[in-house]
Structure 1
Amino acid sequence: MRYVVAVAELGSFTRAAKRCLVVQSALSHQIARLEKELGARLFDRTSRQVRLTAAGEVFLPEARQALDAAERARAEVAATAGEVRGRLAVGAIPTVAAVDIPAALRAFHLRYPKVHIVLRDGASKDLVQEVRDGTLDVAFLGVLPSYRPKGVSDHELGTGELVAVVAPTHPLAGQAEAGLDRLAREMFVDYPDGTAARAQSEEAFAAMGLTREVAFEVSGTDFIVRLVRSGLGIAMLPAAFAAELTGVHVLPVRDAPARTERLVWSRFRPAPAAAAFLTGLGVDPGAGVPPDAGAGAAGPRSRRPAP
């Protein structure tokens, strides 16, 4: 099953064999044996690509779940002897400011060196879904203060305001502050429509009966800053994050939009590595866990896929 997952993720028997530290012939032989046992081909192979068959598409998530269950079982057994091991998958929006994530991960790694850490960034809405699905153990979000994610446990990390970020040569760079009515006359660089980061600004302008033009929709924060720096538009970013930027001018905003950072994790009992990470952040890993989610309760399809 590990071999199947590796081939499916990498699209290559050669790269999968390298990841699994076996020769390609051994990996191919084991997959062929599995296909014979299942009575179905899992991959369509050509000289240029490897693709999952319909049977492979059905088998893959089941294989991932089985592998994850085995991984969690080993981690739980090790935890009874006081050893934290396994895998910790963390998701985060790029503008997290309430927690120094690199420092937190470094401290965790030094204390629990046998835990394999995976970090990925993304939009808040997507990260919540991945925690619900079990793809991620924990995730750091940036959302509207009124937003409470469903189907997960969560903890508020802090609330702050957005500021305007403009190029040093922009006329607003000489101002001490600006109101939303003044900013509405500018061209904006912002996150895609429908994202939590975009909603923070949109709702603030709408509440004052204002409309604005978003000329550039960008999913990456670094690209947003580059476009602002080049003078193509202005942006609204969290104050604590914007304070660390260079090559731009940060402008306080009257009636500024607010953003709350939240930490979310599975509503079922977290794996030992996730529980240790949450504890290290000063968060109770059992907060919000339903009474019937006892030992080993992970819920159907509630854990992450194996690497």
Structure 2
Amino acid sequence: MELRQLEHFVAVAEDCHFTRAAKRLHIAQSGLSASIRSLERELGAPLFLRSTRQVRLTAEGQALLVEARKTLAAGDAAKGAVAAVRGLLRGTLSVGSLQCLHAVHVPALLAGFVREHPGLEVSLRHGGSGDLIDRVRTGSLDIAFVSRPRQIPDEVVVSALDREPLVLGCALDHRFADCDEVKLQDLGDERFVDFTADWGTRDLADRVLAEAGVERRVALEASDVHSLLDLVSFGLGVALVPQSFTVKTDRVRFIPLAGDVPLWETVAVTADPTGKAAAALLAKVGPAGDSQVSSCVSA
């Protein structure tokens, strides 16, 4: 089994299409098909279910995909270790991030990192915290900037970046708009706007309200900050959001929470062990206020 064959396999698995994968790899489709057939013969198992319309992984293929990504990542790490001796970073770095963060301005961070390491090919993927953490765990991402998960997989390392309290966001004419603070227990009759289930602030809000004995209704879901705040501003519901959301709009009233205020935490997640490139990027990120901080926040 060769690394080249695993690269071919992963490309087909990700694209679910031989022609697209061949174009991405800059090889002939016939050569790609031959490489996959050779791998299947060596492993003694079919890796794909092929039809005229669709290519899907078999159970054996799904099992191989996790290990193939880890093996390719280890190969990149080996190349990187040799390059590091020469003071160079080469190979690839796959970064995941929430759409927008307060703790670090990802575009500015990557721009400076690419300038310092022109031999490194950097890619970026946006998504929810749960999905991005799982991609680090399975080897398809090297590092991800996300909200702290409730449970941390054994295969990853979590580095804290920043913490901030949650506040209540409501419309300007809401009954809480003139309050100095609001108790979580007073939110039982409220309709909520929130992010979808895979997003970190949704998970935190669900947990802290449940602990406060509040059974809430999430009437509308959004997948970005601006849409969520627009829904709140029109009185379609209230939302528990990180404090840094307060700089995003003047059409929403933000009210501190009374008592033991829950904290929303931004973290960096890397594989265990952390690759050279991911470690170098993480070293560029200091605590919020000491690094390139964004005024935009996501879930």
Change (3 A) 1:124 1:46: closer
Question: How far off is 1:123 after superposition?
Answer: 4.2
**Inter-partner Cα distance in structure 2 for 1:94 and 1:13:** 31
State the secondary structure of the residue aligned to 2:236: coil
1:243-300: CA deviation from partner (whole Å, max 9, x where unpaired)? 34247414122324322223333342x22211210221248xxxxxxxxxxxxxxxxx
Question: How far off is 1:179 after superposition?
Answer: 0.8
Change (3 A) 1:154 1:33: closer
1:211 aligns with 2:214: yes
Report how many aligned residue pairs link the two structures: 277
**Inter-partner Cα distance in structure 2 for 1:154 and 1:59:** 26
> Aligned partner of 1:158: which letter?
D
> Aligned partner of 2:252: which letter?
H
| Paired position in structure 2 for 1:87 | 92
Change (3 A) 1:128 1:219: farther
TM-score, normalising length from structure 2?
0.76
Question: How far off is 1:81 after superposition?
Answer: 1.1
| Paired position in structure 1 for 2:110 | 105
Which segment is superposed worse, 9-18 or 70-79?
A: 70-79
Change (3 A) 1:214 1:192: farther
- Which runs of 5 or more structure 2 residues have no equivalent in the other structure? 288-299
Kindly, what percent of the aligned residue pairs are identical?
35
Assess if the C-alpha contact under 8 Å between 1:191 and 1:218 holds in 2.
yes
Assess if the C-alpha contact under 8 Å between 2:148 and 2:267 holds in 1.
yes
**Inter-partner Cα distance in structure 2 for 1:193 and 1:16:** 31
Change (3 A) 1:253 1:46: same
Q: Write the mapping of 1:107-146 to structure 2, written as runs, cut at 5 A.
A: 107-143=112-148
**Inter-partner Cα distance in structure 2 for 1:150 and 1:46:** 36
State the secondary structure of the residue aligned to 2:69: helix
**Inter-partner Cα distance in structure 1 for 2:178 and 2:80:** 56
1:166 aligns with 2:178: no
Counterpart pick for 1:25 among 30, 33, 39: 30
| Paired position in structure 1 for 2:192 | 188
**Inter-partner Cα distance in structure 2 for 1:278 and 1:120:** 17
**Inter-partner Cα distance in structure 2 for 1:200 and 1:185:** 19
TM-score, normalising length from structure 1?
0.75
Counterpart pick for 2:160 among 156, 161, 171: 156
Question: How far off is 1:82 after superposition?
Answer: 1.1
**Inter-partner Cα distance in structure 2 for 1:113 and 1:218:** 40
Assess if the C-alpha contact under 8 Å between 2:246 and 2:254 holds in 1.
no
| Paired position in structure 1 for 2:266 | 261
Which segment is superposed worse, 157-166 or 181-190?
A: 181-190
Change (3 A) 1:188 1:71: same
Question: How far off is 1:206 after superposition?
Answer: 5.2
**Inter-partner Cα distance in structure 1 for 2:153 and 2:61:** 32
Assess if the C-alpha contact under 8 Å between 1:176 and 1:251 holds in 2.
no
> Aligned partner of 2:71: which letter?
A
1:89-119: CA deviation from partner (whole Å, max 9, x where unpaired)? 3333446312222221221122122222233
| Paired position in structure 2 for 1:16 | 21
| Paired position in structure 1 for 2:295 | none
